[in-house]
Structure 1
Amino acid sequence: MFRTPAPVPTRDRITRSSRRAVVMLIVVVGSAGAFSALSGVLRPGALYVVAAISATTVPVAWYWKRTWRRWDSLAPFFVFYADVGIATVLFSFRSPWDALPGTVLLILVALFGVVFADERLLRAHIAFTVLVILVLAGLSIGAADPMLLLARTVCILGATATPFLVQLHIAYLRDQVSTSRRDALTGLLNRRGLDSAILQIQQARTADLTMGVALIHADIEDVDTRLGRATTKEAITELTAALREHAPGALIARLRDDEFVCVFLGGGARVAEDLDSLRDEVESLRLRSASTPLTCTTARAHLSDSATRMVVMGRLIASASLARYSDTLEGDERRPEYDHLVDLLAAGGPTIVFQPVVRVDDQRVVGYEALSRFPAGHGSPQTWFADAAAAGMQIPLELAAVQRAVLASHHLEPDAFLAINVSATTITASDLTRLLLPLATQRRVVVEITEHDLVRDYHQLTLALDDLRAAGLSISVDDVGAGHSGLRQLVEIKPDVIKLDASIVRGLDHDRLRRAAAKALTDFARDIGAECIYEGIETDAELHAARTLGATMVQGFLLGRPTAVPTAVTPDVGRTA
């Protein structure tokens, strides 16, 4: 099975580049000393001293390459070593005038200090550099034209400001990044900023770490309609101040106009206490600027050593959001148009049928797709899922279908894979690994990302998919060519399987445009090492066209209709549907 290598995290790339840069700096300093020793411009007897100092750069470079994780703690020793070595070589020259340009090496060391040393060490190094420059310039009086000496000295002294200019630029970039991760109105983190903050948190004891989220929702739309935008801003500002007061130890973010989240990290008992306290405070809070209902729902989960904090946070936020929607379906606020969804979930979810997937080469059944079937009277499966999304019940409905498919799959041949349809929303918000891992130990499981909803956060989705891949599951993009399954989704998800939608496959044998589209997608799948399934095959001519274009597998009524208990009999592909 093709596996796309995981991208190297940005932090690792920066670390590698920094390590190379420091090693290169050491090599440059050592080479300069070696060339000076061979130039014949040193004082009598200084040749061996300079040669010895230059030789030390080899083991130092090797040591720093091996101990790069301790750079911050070892930076003072490196700066001291570099200052002593460079100064010794510079004062070994017969002519201070010839040695003066070599002080540039001390400025290079200062650039190292900008990244790895603290402010006091950096300033001490710059002061030492200025002192060396002035001493060499003073010793050069009479050895060169005074104006030329002054010009060279001023230029080199001016270069010592470079580290401080770099510091200012770094501060500017950090401010720009910080601004892009903050909500403009409240100053709180936005979703991107919250993601970054979670990634930066380093905990020494991950084995006893719990993450909890409190999702706060304000009916801002009602305030805006009744009292206007100015009052709405006042209400948001007041709510922001209240959250900062009542959740001082939490990461607070504004996810949407009317939705805020507080993320707690710590021991399980402490997080539970913080969540309960905040929920009580929010639900009893009355804003002075406007009367608006405030709801607070919570969720928490234990973080194992291998847990990805970003994925867990996404699932907890979705769980808290689901709890809020579920509350609106209780009691007097329950909407009767969603009764069929509530009744279906109470009964355990939809019925599952299986449609065979056939390998093109030998026309053998190699897998099945699990499909949901619903009671008559409320439309197609797409209508049921759309209603569930509108009611805030999409995730429980899809998970019920997954559980039903897992239970019913024991009828299938053990060597046949099982493809299960799940939306991007459910993948990011639920623990599919826990549901599917037992089945994945028995057969190949393919998670098909459906086009039920638009993918709005590819970063969260790819993190969740990485978890599924790590558990041994394959990833497929379903309905390519229809709905939201576009080229960006293929590029971002890097699927193991690509399924061409029936709208492209149907009429493939005589429609030149469909044939061209299918060929392009099939070639794309081959280039990235993915398998390609043509669905919707209904005639022998379409099957022949799919085989000609290079389809790996095919699916459709010609090859087998969805049934509750499929058989292992090879379909009769000579019969039209």
Structure 2
Amino acid sequence: MFGLPYHDLDLAHAQLTALARQIPMLFIILTANALALAATHIETAPPFLTIVMPIVFCLICAHRVRFWRRLSLRSVDGVGALHFLKTITFAVAVLGAVFTAWSLALYPYGDAYARCHVAFYMSITVISCILCLTQHRSAALLLTFLVLIPFTIFFLITENLVLIAMVANVVVVTWGLIIIMLRNNHSFDTLVVAQRSAQRLSDENLRLAQQDGLTGLPNRRRFIAELDDTLAAAQQSGTCFAVAMIDLDRFKAVNDSYGHGAGDRLLEQIGGRLGTIAGADRFIARLGGDEFGAILKDTADEAAILAFGARLQELLEAPFALNATALATIGCSIGVATYPQTGQTAEDLFERADYALYDGKQHRKGEIVLFSQALETQIRTSSQIEQALRNADLESELWLAFQPIVDATTNRIHAFEALARWESPELGAVSPGVFIPIAEHAQLINHITLVLFAKYLDALSLVPATALVGFNLSAHDLNSRATITKIQEMLRGSGVNPSRIVFEITETALLRDFDLAAETIETLHDMGTSIALDDFGAGFSSLGYVHRLKLDKIKIDRGFVSDIEHSDTAPKIIRSLIDLCRNLEVSCVVEGVETPAQLTLLLSLGAKLIQGYLFAKPMRIEAVAAWCERTNPLASLMYPDRLCG
């Protein structure tokens, strides 16, 4: 009952915090009551008791009030709080004994009213002290006993019935206050423990809310908060820092080849490795999927950034064990923006680091790219194009160009590929290689696809009936159930024979969500349309997809053809791909053929279906019929005696 919470330093600090607000009031009450008692005895009692002692009391109490009001508990820990509680207990014992002795010393002086005032002073003061010391149980009880026991004995031996009755009342009231004080003290202790548990639970929930459950690294929310804090600190101190966006290379191949469980195990190991280079000046977080972020504090030096990137790549390029027998080797691409050189706000830094990463993934995969003025120009251009796309009348500005695919063995047109074109009144002709990625990033590609597909269906009547016509679908299209459903509805309502339609998809489109893409491909295939895998060989895992998809055609990437005359390996690769298609019983189209020499070499390798500028550049639909009528695709090249069919 009289002990201090040595076992619970947090509780000791909570008790001290509550007492710090109440002890000044205790000293104010003692001062006011002492002055009142001295005033009623000033004419009868000695000056030492009525003047000197009250002045000393007032000075002591004023000093303690000033001390407690100026005390800051922020720097006081649990051990310090215990020390304060011990000091309070000692001070209460001394003050209680002194005030009791002083009060009883005044009793012999004065009349009956003055003597009753002594009894009243002692009783009301002890009650006030109990209330002010509720959170310090031992001090409150000690003060009660130091005052109440002498008070009771002293006034009982006076044999004055009124005073004895007053003593009885005070004892009963004090006893009741002690019971209430003990209960309140217990409730206070319980509340402190409960609040502490709740705070710990809240802290744990906050930690979990800001931590990635798979890798153990901070998550995106924590990264954004840390970026804001770092920016605020840098603005105040005038220091520099860098923000890096990190994207894993070849991670999806692990998921597709070994399953998501292996992908999760890989991410766990990645989190462990990244954690080894994180620290006070290097904050690393998982932003989602296979994307990570890093904040390099107090540095914007290019050499230091490149050294960090090299260390990061070294860590991630070392093999990872997926299971007892399988190893995976990945890598990463990194985009970096620096404060204050390339961004002044957290949003700008995040976006520009992300843009540098995007540019690296497109053109310098596996490297670290620092945001530069050239990329700033690209952003402005992209922003201008995006704004123009949003404001465009797509129905009138978008159109389709058609490029033929020629069967070189029969001298007939096998198919056409419909290619997107955009003629902006503001920007002029914009290359699809420019506006399509921007449209995808701006979430406009699905609408553009539907506009172009409507034009595509209308144009089929102007293409020779024996020719198939290809239409390109993006990754966003394959992963949008709403878009695919709308395409199905448009196709059913058009009256077009589905067998004439070839949906062309790229390998990169499959990487976004292979399972959903495969489901979409099967849905389109079941409608009677054909499926072509475009740019085959440009990716690293095309062979892993071929046997898992319902494909009707494979188009060999133009990158193999451009160097076919001067490369020892390109002809061998093309021959192997042609043989692969033959064995799989799917059509094979070779893209990017531009010279007769390339054509001759491809024919010797077994190529049959050819597409490229050698025969025709993409043309408007209005020009297709005329081109077919006046052009024998191979007449001037290979077979002057045959006619275009």
Report the TM-score, using the length of structure 1 for normalisation: 0.41
Report the TM-score, using the length of structure 2 for normalisation: 0.37
Higher relative contact order (CA 8 A, sep 6+): 1
Larger radius of gyration: 2
